[in-house]
Amino acid sequence: MRTPLIILLTAALLGGCFYADEALITRRGADFPVAEGIYTHTPYHPDGRPFDRPTWTGEIERRGWVYASDTAEFPHSNVRLRELVPGIYAAQKRSDEHYLFGLVWVYPDGLVTYHNPSCSDLSDTARETYELVEEMEDGACRIERWDVLSAVLQTYLAEHDGTPRLDGVYRPVE
């Protein structure tokens, strides 16, 4: 059961995304709004339904300029965040070849939700405005500067009424 889950999570993190060849969220620009502690992680199906149970439980901590865990198969190891607007953050995760970007919401009660935006879900007008070209078969778009990434993600949020579908949630364990 673990292998299909890993494939699903990898597809969710890679499909139709925004990416860069270099880190756009630098150490100096990183924010750390997620409190260290024990969390459960529940991914969501592409149709918006959550999995019927958490798929990972472990301690999340800050290590240097990223989030990490000693618990095996932490889905978002080495993620770095930077605030876009209060409570909403751009997330950066290194893949084998690129840096991938997503959106993270951090709530006062410790709940953390995330969404992996797809370049193809951005309007044609926005893609033209920011000169984004869908380069790969999966429709991924390269972004080369933080100011453009920030503007693109904020436009993406506006085009989705600030509430795109959730791809997963981290809940603090009390």
The Cα–Cα gap between 7 and 171 comes to 22
CB pairs under 8 A, 24+ apart, for 44-53?
44/165, 44/166, 44/167, 44/168, 44/169, 46/12, 48/165, 48/166, 50/166, 50/169
Is the predicted pLDDT of residue 12 greater than 70, yes or no? Answer: no
The Cα–Cα gap between 72 and 150 comes to 31
* Neighbouring C-beta atoms of residue 94, cutoff 10 Å: 14
Q: What is the pLDDT of residue 3?
A: 37
CA-wise closest residue to 82 among 67, 97, 69: 67
pLDDT by residue (tens digit) across 81-114?
Answer: 999 999 999 999 999 889 999 999 999 999 999 9
Amino acid identity at 147: D
Sequence-distant (6+) residues with CB within 8 A of 115 are 102, 103, 164, 165, 166, 167
Q: What is the pLDDT of residue 136?
A: 57
Is the predicted pLDDT of residue 164 greater than 60, yes or no? Answer: yes
Is the predicted pLDDT of residue 9 greater than 90, yes or no? Answer: no
